[in-house]
Amino acid sequence: MPPGPRHTLSPAELATWEAFLRAHASIMRRLEQDLAAHDLTLSDYDVLVQLVQAPDRRLRPVELSRAVLLTRSGITRLVAGLERHGLVERIPAPGDRRGQLVTLTAAGLERIRAAGRTHGRGIRELFADRLDAGELERLRATLERLPADPAGSPAPATGGDLGGGAPGPG
């Protein structure tokens, strides 16, 4: 009974898969701890990064939810927290009375810059600096053959709010 699609993972496959999980878990935990020193979660960080990169440093919540791995409701509450801490402000969106614009404050800019240095250093220590140029490039090529879908199944154009959902990679 030669090859054909197996129904078990080979030891090599299993070992690689486990190394993948292990590496991700360890790195993320460390990065999370690092950001905690700046009083930020990883999601906070992602959102603030989107804001610094945005034109005029302002974005609609729904755009944030598309750019980051969070639903609209998650964004609502996260932004509320950032606002309480004075890192962002919410102003009514010009030309759309439903929505608002989330804008980065000076304090927010300072915070994300400081956190960004920490975060960048962490990624280098835990990830980038451990791989040489060739390894890095091969890793990228390999990873890009794995799934990178933004969300679950696409949405049929049904009724109300239903839809493919917000969470896409960050």
The smaller minimum CB distance to a second copy, of residues 105 and 118, is found at 118
142 makes contact with a second copy (CB under 8 A): yes
53's contact among DNA, a second copy, none, with CB below 5 to 8 A by partner kind, is none
61's contact among DNA, a second copy, none, with CB below 5 to 8 A by partner kind, is DNA
Residue 42's alpha-carbon distances to 45, 78, 119, in angstroms, are 5, 11, 10
Residues 6+ apart with CB under 8 A from 155: 162, 163, 164, 165
86 makes contact with DNA (CB under 7 A): no
Considering only residues 92-121, where is the footprint of DNA by CB under 7 A?
93, 95-100
Give SS3 for 89.
strand
Would you say 31 and 40 are in contact if contact means Cβ atoms under 8 Å apart?
no
76's contact among a second copy, DNA, none, with CB below 5 to 8 A by partner kind, is DNA
- Residue from 96, 107, 105 nearest 60 by CA: 96
79 makes contact with DNA (CB under 7 A): yes
61 makes contact with DNA (CB under 7 A): yes
